[in-house]
Amino acid sequence: MAPLEPWEKALVNGETYPDSVHGQIPCQNCHGGRQSADKAEAHTDIIARPSDDPEIYCQECHPDVVALNENNLHDNLAGYWTILDQRTVPEDHETIATMFGNHCSSCHATCGDCHVSQPALVGGGLIDGHMFNKTPSLTRNCTACHGSRVGNEYLGKHEDLQADVHFRQGRMACIDCHTGHEMHGQPAACEDCHTSPETQMVEPANHRYDGVQSPRCESCHITATIGQDDIEMHQVHGADLSCQVCHSVAYTSCDGCHVAISETTGNPFYATDGSYLDFKIGLNPLKSFDRPYDYVTLRHVPISSDSFAFYGDNLVPNLNALPTWVYTTPHNIQRETPQAASCNACHGNADLFLTVDQVYPNEVEANQPVIVPVIPAPISEITATVGITITEGISATAGLTTTTIISPTEQNP
């Protein structure tokens, strides 16, 4: 998408906007400034991003959405703090907060970043002549922020890797899975929605995989859960492997992120030592009733002990408090993948698993909870116990299963 010209970013659609609901509200009510034909004078004390303060500018008419906002990860970025709090120590939190303000808070999403303009990360600018769009744009809102990992995977921007089947085949946008309800944050109290005698408080989410899976693959693919369709892999592994273990392909991992302030421009910037496509199955660090899988896909996050060295020495003293290989849900789902082409494409295939030799030596301790101690043996070696008569050489197994699979799928998109 071509970048917007400076004037385009500020052009209000004189045909549509003044007649819309929000167009009835004087500009100054939201943006401040002064009445003047002189630009500089008019822009005195201008409020560029009113929806940074939705309690002032939106709440009166959208109390339900605004009430949830303070618990919305998009607004409070609590996910970052959940991690930073564990890897750093309280004495340094002031310094870390400065670092965060310079490098991380620009990712914070306002109402306007999803409904009115492009996020500042990509230069800002009105999307649709200042119309308040109900439905955010996939490319101009969502992947403007979620571009380098999720966007590139979902849209198939990596060479040799296909776009996600939901995009390629289903033409689905992000919001077909990530609903407005999810994007606005869950209510802090169940009884906001469920009115019953017993009032149960649910803690607001403090990271992106907190609580129930939402969305969840099984909500749409009901039959994929164990034993409910003819696919052998689903029957054997429907509950102990996450869907992505078999249905996603290589995704982005990163190493060594460092942040600093540029000497030449004074702008904050970051640099990562490397990013690469990888695929690693490891133990589930978030195993719970809501995420029951034993094995999940993991990605390497670019934290290192000197990531914040620009701001001081030893600011990440507790690097080992959490794994550097984290739970991930790649957005490049495919029906057929190399690792699920046959049982033994996975069983006995050491490359797929996060074993100790795959982990940087200084990160082994941190990753103990996710490292796979022993990879699953090739099927021929366990047939005796399970009673499946397959030998390694006979690749026909995969072919046979395929035939039984295809028919139910056609009626079952």
Partner 1 sequence: MKKAQRIQNIKTILLSLMLVLATAVLLSSCSSSAETDSAVALQTALEPTAVIPTPTEETAVAPTAVAATLPTDECLLCHINKDELIQTADPVEEVVSENEGEG
Residues in contact with partner 1 by the rule CB under 8 A: 5-7, 10-14, 17-18, 26-29, 31, 33, 35-37, 39, 42, 55-56, 59-60, 130, 148-149, 252, 254, 257, 262, 265, 267, 269-275, 302
3-state secondary structure at position 96: helix
Written as one letter, the residue type at 248 is: S
The binder of 112, among partner 1, ligand HEC, none, by C-beta within 5 to 8 A per type, is: ligand HEC
Q: Which of 17, 48, 4, 9 is nearest to 131 (CA)?
A: 17
In the block, residue with structure tokens 């906002």: 69
CB 208 within 8 A of CB 183: no
The binder of 113, among ligand HEC, partner 1, none, by C-beta within 5 to 8 A per type, is: ligand HEC
Nearer to partner 1, 65 or 246 (CB): 65
The binder of 80, among partner 1, ligand HEC, none, by C-beta within 5 to 8 A per type, is: ligand HEC
For the bound state, the minimum distance from the C-beta of residue 260 to partner 1, rounded and expressed in Å, comes to 9
Rounded to the nearest angstrom, the gap between the alpha carbon of residue 331 and the centroid of all alpha carbons in its chain is: 9
Q: At CA 308, angle to CA 107 and CA 92, rounded to 5?
A: 95
3-state secondary structure at position 362: helix
The binder of 186, among ligand HEC, partner 1, none, by C-beta within 5 to 8 A per type, is: none
For the bound state, the minimum distance from the C-beta of residue 273 to ligand HEC, rounded and expressed in Å, comes to 21
The binder of 117, among ligand HEC, partner 1, none, by C-beta within 5 to 8 A per type, is: ligand HEC
For the bound state, the minimum distance from the C-beta of residue 278 to partner 1, rounded and expressed in Å, comes to 13
Rounded to the nearest angstrom, the gap between the alpha carbon of residue 14 and the centroid of all alpha carbons in its chain is: 36
Nearer to ligand HEC, 31 or 258 (CB): 31
Q: Cα–Cα distance between 99 and 111 in angstroms, integer?
A: 24
For the bound state, the minimum distance from the C-beta of residue 350 to ligand HEC, rounded and expressed in Å, comes to 12
Written as one letter, the residue type at 120 is: A
Written as one letter, the residue type at 250 is: A
Q: Which residues contact 408 (CB under 8 A, 6 or more apart)?
A: 223, 229, 230, 231
Nearer to ligand HEC, 178 or 258 (CB): 178
For the bound state, the minimum distance from the C-beta of residue 313 to ligand HEC, rounded and expressed in Å, comes to 27
Asked if the peptide bond before residue 215 counts as cis, ω within 30 degrees of 0, the response is yes
For the bound state, the minimum distance from the C-beta of residue 263 to ligand HEC, rounded and expressed in Å, comes to 27
